[in-house]
A and B are shown apart, each in its own frame.
Chain A
Amino acid sequence: MNKSTYSDVLIGVVLLALAACLPWVVGDFAVTLAVNIAMFTVLATSWALFSGPTHYISLATAAFFGLGTYTAGIGLDYLPFWVLIPLAGVFGAVMAGLIGLATLRLSGVYFVIFTLGLAEMTRQVITYIQNATGQKGILISIWFMETTFYWMLVGLAAVIFIVGWLIGRSRLGFALRIIGDDEEVARHSGINTALSKVLLFMIPGAVAAMTGAMMAPRYGYIEPLIAFTPMLSFQVVIMALLGGTGRLWGPIVGVIPFSILWELISASFPNQTTLLLGLCFLAIVYLLPNGFVGLLLKIRARVSQGEGF
């Protein structure tokens, strides 16, 4: 079991406070970038909570995100915004539960394939519904400042870190690490592997949906192509793997440099973002199989070994 000391918690709280103060210190452009970074931090960290220990690569982030965006878009006519966010979370959890029950009993490959097409398929279905009902896009009538989005995301990130920390110390977290190491042994130790996986998968599902709902006002106008960007799933996977899923703070370490790199490439070579994604995937597999976290831990181990002799 992970030994989480109180100094870790203190560091976390301090960093969180610093992050919350950011908008008062930097200019407007930086805040926009910060919103993106915060959003990806939320998505990547919650992604890693499931895909890290189990090694099941989920590409469903965009689908959950879109579900949340549409929940907000459609629901704003009937419910206040602040109710829609947790509601989106519930929908996301339910959808994740269903997907999990269908695919997590099987090997990881089926799961990846299924989640790969999920966003595409959902987009097709929604486009069809829109064409059938004649409704084009959804206009969002409420508006927030960038800083509000930023704080909402930082708040959600804080919640995720707390949840992740608690899970790491819980039976469920332990069960999932065992499943990730050897699923057969997990089963024979008495773990209900299917249920554990499904339960944990509901977390990134709910979180991505809530994030989608939160971001809906930022888009202003909701359309299938906007709500369900398949790119989103791939970006989240890269950032989380780049940072490393071995630690709770791993994904952030991947999010920050990648987001900045993405902004730079989008600005200078807008058509080559796809190429960038591909090269990053390859770099991760060949150079950083355990992300930056893995690299840091290896260096630290070697340093302490060197000192030992």
Chain B
Amino acid sequence: MSDHRTVLSLRGATKRFGGLIAVNDLDFDVAEHEVLGLIGPNGSGKSTTLNLISGALPVSGGTISLNSQIISTLPAQQITRRGVARTFQLVRLLPSMTVFENVMAGAVFGHRRRWGHEAEAHVMRMLELVGLDRRAHAHPSELTYIDTKRVELARVLVGDPKVLLLDEWLAGLNPTELEEGISLVRKLRDDGRTIVLVEHVMDAIRSLCDRCVVMSSGVKIAEGATEAVLNDPEVIRAYLGEDDA
């Protein structure tokens, strides 16, 4: 489709929890500079897939590669160092540190490691990007919900990751905040970032993603251009359930 090279590649990725197969033989690729939507009804295995990619969970089978190098056998910290960064479904900010220090954490230990003045300058740049430069010394407890999400985004961006995994980053936002959130992710896309977006908010998927992978019960049921996929009867059936298609 594009002549951009493949950055992230899953081949036969599988995750078993005892008898339950949460992710079943999953194959897909993510090309450089693309925004891939990973969607599906609740329990389809989307978040588990992100956990497999980021190393939060080990794979039960299959491989995951970053720029042709297998990362599925590595621990989470090494995967981050190689260039995969992710946000969490429930925002996790470091409670004892300021906004600035939180983002600094990503700058010092992320994919592109910086220290001292260089790191501080880069942190301020990221805070400006997400719109928090004037709240750099606030504490997480003082922030609004969307602001905490901005901090987390800055923290994952500041290390210059090769792939960004956004785990329902737009969830729980009111309409105004949602607008701001979508335009922020759009800015990232325009900057050329490679993003895998796990989302339920269909407006966001439509306006941000070029391509989508749809999962249901751990299996990939569709893949392709966003509009085509969202009109696929199979996909609609998966979301609405067998009874009303």
- Enumerate chain A interface residues (CB-CB to B < 8 A): 1, 171, 174-175, 177-178, 180-182, 184-193
- List, in ascending order, chain A residues with CB within 8 A of B88's CB: 185
The reply to whether A184 and B92 form a contact with Cβ atoms under 8 Å apart is: yes
Instruction: State how many angstroms separate the Cβ of B11 from the closest Cβ of chain A.
Output: 23
Q: How far is the CA of A188 from the CA of B78 in the complex (A)?
A: 9
**Chain B residues positioned under 8 Å from A189 (CB to CB):** 77, 80, 105-106, 109-110, 155, 159
Q: Is A178 in contact with B115, judged by CB distance below 8 angstroms?
A: no
Q: Is the CB of B77 within 8 A of A174?
A: no
Do the beta carbons of B96 and A188 come within 8 Å of each other? no
Residues of A contacting B110 with CB < 8 Å?
Answer: 189-190
Other A-B pairs, 19, CB within 8 Å; known A190-B111, A192-B78:
A171-B115, A175-B108, A178-B109, A180-B96, A181-B96, A182-B95, A185-B88, A185-B94, A188-B76, A188-B85, A189-B80, A189-B110, A189-B155, A190-B77, A190-B80, A190-B106, A190-B110, A190-B159, A193-B77
Interface status of B172 (Cβ within 8 A of chain A): no
Whether B76 lies near A177 (C-beta < 8 A) is no
- What's the minimum C-beta distance from B215 to chain A, rounded to whole angstroms? 22
Partner of A177, one of B54, B78, B96, B109: B96
With contacts A190-B77, A191-B77 taken as known, whether A171 is within 8 angstroms of B108 at the C-beta atoms is: yes
Cβ of B80 and Cβ of A174 under 8 Å apart?
no
Report the minimal beta-carbon distance from A38 to chain B, rounded to whole angstroms: 30
The chain A residue sitting closest to B92, CB to CB, is A185
Q: What 0/1 pattern do residues 52 to 87 of B give for CB contact below 8 A with A? A: 001010000000000000000001111011000110
Residue among A174, A185, A189, A193 with most chain B CB within 10 A: A189
A187 surroundings in chain B (CB, below 8 A)? 75-77, 80
**Residue on A nearest B161 in the bound complex, by CB:** A190
Q: Name the residue among A174, A181, A187, A188 with the largest chain B CB count within 10 angstroms.
A: A188
Tell me the total A-B contact number using a CB cutoff of 8 A.
Answer: 66
Asked if residues A188 and B94 are in contact (CB atoms below 8 Å), the reply is no
Residue in chain B with minimal CB distance to A170: B115
A187 to B95, CA, bound (A): 16
B104 CB-CB contact with A under 8 Å: yes
CB distance from B93 to the nearest CB of A (A): 8
Interface string of B132-151 (1 = CB under 8 A from A): 00000000000000000000
Instruction: Report the minimal beta-carbon distance from B95 to chain A, rounded to whole angstroms.
Output: 6
Tell me, in angstroms, the Cα distance from A189 to B107 when the chains sit together.
Answer: 9
Closest chain-B Cβ to A244's Cβ sits at a distance in Å of: 14
Q: Evaluate whether A181 and B159 lie within 8 angstroms (CB atoms) in the complex, with A171-B115, A188-B86 already known.
A: no
Q: Check if B201 is an interface residue, CB within 8 A of chain A.
A: no
Chain B residues, Cβ within 8 Å of A175: 108-109
With a CB–CB cut-off of 8 A, which chain A residues contact B97?
177-178, 181
Residues of A within 8 A of B223 (CB): none
Per-position 1/0 for B94-120, Cβ under 8 A of A: 111100010011101111010100000
Bound form: Cα–Cα A142–B94 in Å: 51
- Using known A-B contacts A188-B76, A189-B155, A193-B77, determine if residue A182 contacts B108 with beta carbons closer than 8 Å: no
Q: Separation in Å of the A133 CB from the closest CB of chain B? A: 45
- Cα–Cα distance between A171 and B97 once the two chains are bound (Å): 15
Chain A residues within an 8 Å CB radius of B108: 171, 174-175
List chain B residues, Cβ under 8 A from A192.
77-78
Inter-chain contact B86/A190, CB cutoff 8 Å = no
Chain A: which residue is nearest B76 at the CB level? A187
Report the separation of the CA atoms of residues A45 and B81 in the bound assembly, to the nearest whole angstrom.
33
CB distance from B149 to the nearest CB of A (A): 14
